[in-house]
């Protein structure tokens, strides 16, 4: 199935936005790109952890 794009709108307080903006600026990124990359990284980390756990269960590693 082809993947398109969607829009997600978030309402966050000014202090959190400024924190995100500073983190993004340190990396030369927009706040939007920073948040998207963070979400993608967290999703990958969770999927990787799950795959490792399933492999360990399959092979009986404790």
Asked, for residue 42, whether it belongs to a domain, the answer is yes
Note down pLDDT in tens along the chain; length 62 residues. Answer: 567 888 888 899 999 999 999 999 999 999 999 988 888 887 777 877 888 888 888 888 75
Whole-angstrom Cα distance, residue 36 to residue 30? Answer: 10
Whole-angstrom Cα distance, residue 11 to residue 17? Answer: 9
Q: What is the pLDDT of residue 49?
A: 82
Whole-angstrom Cα distance, residue 59 to residue 62? Answer: 9
Asked, for residue 2, whether it belongs to a domain, the answer is no
List alpha helices for the chain, DSSP H: 14-26, 31-59
DSSP H or E segment with residue 60: none
For residue 48, the enclosing domain spans 14-59
Q: What contacts 56, CB < 8 A, 6 or more positions away?
A: 62
Number of domains in the chain: 1
Q: pTM for the whole thing?
A: 0.61
Asked, for residue 29, whether it belongs to a domain, the answer is yes
């Amino acid at each position: 199935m082809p993947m398109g794009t969607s829009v997600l709108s978030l309402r966050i307080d000014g202090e959190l936005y400024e924190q995100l903006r500073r983190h993004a600026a340190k990396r030369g990124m927009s706040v939007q790109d920073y948040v998207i990359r963070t979400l993608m990284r967290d999703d990958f980390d969770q999927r990787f952890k799950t795959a490792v756990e399933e492999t360990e269960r399959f092979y009986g590693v404790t």
